[in-house]
Each structure stands twice: as structure tokens, then as C-alpha cells.
Chains A and B, each alone.
Chain A
């Protein structure tokens, strides 16, 4: 079945630094999503990507849908303490079904 490899597993960075994380797969996906999960909460959608090669920004977040449709990256610029959380990528396959990565845990030191 579909599987996403998300990296890195965790990151410890200083406030103000830029962050990059990515997901790769051997499978092709129709849509890529990036979610953030705060402690004790459910994942919240950050960015959705619908076309291969698409580059989309949401404030300090930028994500790209890989041209091969098998990968995506998420960048966060000028990180702040509230960026702390777990970031998940998700690829859509089939009817409204998503395969999630194992998450990237981001820690930001003030």
C-alpha cells in the first residue's frame, strides 16, 4: 500500500531560523496536504496542493507539490515559538483517502 517517508523525524532550532521538511513516496498522489498538530489537539490543515509543480504560500509557510507527484516539501521562514508542534504531510489517493507521514516534531528555542 501507499507509504510516505517524512523527514526529519524531529528538529531543534533557534527562534528566527528557517525550517525545511519533506515527504517522499514511491507512489503518485493527486493532492498533497500539510497539517500541524498542537499538543492535545487534532491536526489542522496548513496548506493544500493540487497540481504537480505547484508552489503555495501561507504567511511564513511555503509548500511545493513535486513535479513527479511523489514528493512535497514544507518550508517555514523566520520560525517563532508558536511554530512548535508536529507537522504531517498527507497524500491523497483513491476517493477522499489520505496517507499520512509519521510527522516531524518541531522544537523552537526562544
Chain B
């Protein structure tokens, strides 16, 4: 079984540019999450999809961040325009059930310069 896959693994962009991160969850996992870890800090919740619907987007920092999950399969997280403080590692995770934790992807390291 393939794990959670994230693209790209690294991205370096200039302030003001747009970046789109992609996550392919484990096949059959309806629950998909985006988390972010800023250097040395905790991993913070961004949002949660159940299939194609946003179950909870309370962690999204501001309206420069847009997440989509068309068709309930893969998800994208777009940052437009990127700011310096958006740098960090963006993790995607998926799960079947609420009580067994997540399977994380290996993350996308975003650096905004």
C-alpha cells in the first residue's frame, strides 16, 4: 500500500510568488489533513477534509492560503502571495478513523526568500 505522498519535497520561492503543494492520501482514506511546522515549533493544524468537504479549517492562518480537494482524492494547498513567515514544513496526513492517529507524508519544506 502506498503511503501519503507529497509534492514537491522542497520549494524555494520569492516573497510575493505563488506556490501550490500537493498531497495524495492513502487510497480509501476519506480524512485528509494539512499541518505546518515552523522552524523549531510545534506541528500546527491547518485544516481537515472529509472527502471533498472542509470539515474544519480553523487553523488556516489567513486568506492567502487556499486548500482544495476536488473529487475527494488528492488535495492542493496554495499560498498566494507567499510571505517570509510562511516558510516551514507542510505536512499532509490521512486517516480512515478518528481514533488511530494519522499517517503522515514526508512533508514539503517551503522556503520563502
Interface of A with B (CB < 8 Å)? Answer: 4, 6, 31, 33, 35, 40-45, 48, 50, 88, 90, 92, 94-103
What are 10 A-B interface contacts by the 8 Å CB criterion? A4-B42, A33-B101, A42-B4, A43-B43, A95-B98, A96-B31, A96-B95, A98-B102, A100-B44, A101-B42
| Partner among A42, A92, A96, A97 whose Cβ is within 8 Å of the Cβ of B106 | A42
Say yes or no: is B45 at the interface (Cβ < 8 Å to chain A): yes
Chain A residue numbers with a CB within 8 Å of B45 are 97-99
| Partner among A42, A95, A102 whose Cβ is within 8 Å of the Cβ of B105 | A42
Chain B residue numbers with a CB within 8 Å of A95 are 55-56, 98
B101 & A48 in contact (Cβ 8 Å cutoff): yes
CA distance A6 to B40 in the complex (A): 12
- Known A98-B45, A100-B43: A42·B101 in contact at CB below 8 Å: no
A40-B9, A92-B98, A94-B56 known, 7 other contacts, Cβ within 8 Å: A41-B106, A42-B107, A90-B43, A96-B31, A98-B102, A100-B43, A100-B44
The 10 A-B pairs at the shortest CB distance, nearest first, are namely A42-B104, A96-B98, A100-B43, A102-B42, A42-B106, A45-B101, A100-B42, A43-B104, A33-B101, A41-B106
Interface of B with A (CB < 8 Å)? Answer: 4, 6, 9, 31, 35, 40-45, 48, 55-56, 91, 93, 95, 98-107
Which interface residue of A4, A42, A92 has the most chain B CB atoms within 10 A? A42
Chain A residue numbers with a CB within 8 Å of B93 are 42
CA distance A102 to B4 in the complex (A): 22
Chain B residue numbers with a CB within 8 Å of A41 are 106-107
CA distance A103 to B43 in the complex (A): 9
B104 & A44 in contact (Cβ 8 Å cutoff): yes
| Partner among B40, B55, B91 whose Cβ is within 8 Å of the Cβ of A43 | B91
